[in-house]
Amino acid sequence: MVVVSAGANGTPGILERSGLGDAQILKKAGIDVLEDLPGVGADYQDHHLTLWSYRTNLTPQETINGYQDGRFDVEERIRNNDELLGTNGMDAQGKFRPTETEVEALGPEFKKAWDRDFKGAPNKPLMILALYTCYYGDHSVLPDDTEYVSQANWTAYPYSRGHVHVTGPSMHDPVDFDTGWLTDAGDVDVKKHIWAYKVSREMWRRMPIFRGELAATHPRFPKGSKAAVIEKADGPVMMDDNERIEYSAEDDKAIDQRVREILSTTWHSLGTCKMAPREGKGVVDRNLSIHGVYGLKVADLSVPPENVGANTGNTAFLIGEKAADIFIRELGLSNKDRSQSQSRL
């Protein structure tokens, strides 16, 4: 038994350079085809992310900016057992779904996807929203010494798909990598981000720590827009629960453009050697065996055929644990077998 476990970005390359993959891609790369498996390197997924920065009244000890911009002496903080060393900066996180009114407002293509994949699954989030107590960027360009923090919005179940393939037989050959972000039919993924921006922005404008929006990270709304950026405030600016920020069609275009400009990764790559039938571009079967190849398995995040509404760390651990059970069983290494062998000794 041989097990490949190089992750969603690495495993496809190992298989393709070994002659396992889409025959056309392998031939173009000058690699002999041992097994034609079009699913290798296909259907790349990620929890793509947008980050929006806000001005706050937090103190330096309430954020981790001091570690990022050099204000804190790291060695001294370690010696003094600084409590901030025990946080990753994510102070709040939630899983969010739109109201039916919001679904209708996002258009027929979005509603079609919502009704098919989300409406009947009330525990399935459309987006995950989180507050990070730090500014992700060049701190030297910030307009003042106030503590800026980041609002992170990422799609839980993206529709967009990309790919990762080799272009030659050597590891030194360039990789053909396309995230495929925001390429889904109907632009459902970008509409998720537009909705999440609006929701999180209204939350922020109601928060006690709100002191403004960092214009450089927000959409460039047209002059005179009712949704214009508020760069400085003395506190929350939306007190009425029924109050809403009014957006025009031009404002929505500005948000769309900004989303496309700043979209980034959560490093949650998966799905490039998915578990599925061979005719469905699957690469491995239920026992993690590669279709058409004896004794070769894959055990990493390239295996999940669909995404998960959470950090993918636990998914990776679960795959590893399940893989271990499969390997132990197939190799005859169960506890029962080991105890019998020890008794004979």
Q: Which residues are annotated as catalytic? A: 268
Q: How many CA atoms lie within 13 A of 258 on its CB side?
A: 21
Give the CA angle between residues 73, 76, 79 to the nearest 5°.
Answer: 150
Kindly give, in sequence order, each residue whose CB lies less than 8 Å from that of residue 59, ignoring residues fewer than 6 positions away: 147
CA–CA separation, 171 and 248 (whole Å): 50
CA–CA separation, 227 and 224 (whole Å): 9
CA–CA separation, 272 and 306 (whole Å): 10
Q: Which long-range contacts (CB under 8 A, 24 or more apart) does 27-35 make?
A: 28/167, 29/165, 29/166, 29/167, 29/168, 29/169, 29/173, 30/168, 30/169, 31/166, 31/168, 31/169, 34/293, 35/290, 35/291, 35/292, 35/293
CA–CA separation, 156 and 99 (whole Å): 17
Exposed, middle or buried by CB within 10 Å (0-12, 13-18, 19+), for 295? exposed
Q: Distance of CA 230 to CAs 55, 69, 137, 214, 308, Å?
A: 10, 25, 20, 8, 35
Query: Terminus-to-terminus CA distance in the chain, angstroms?
Result: 26
CA–CA separation, 283 and 261 (whole Å): 33
166 near 17, Cβ under 8 Å? yes
Helix axis angle for 108-117 and 188-204, nearest 10°, is 90
- The position carrying tokens 């298989």 is 15
How is residue 316 written in tokens? 């990776």
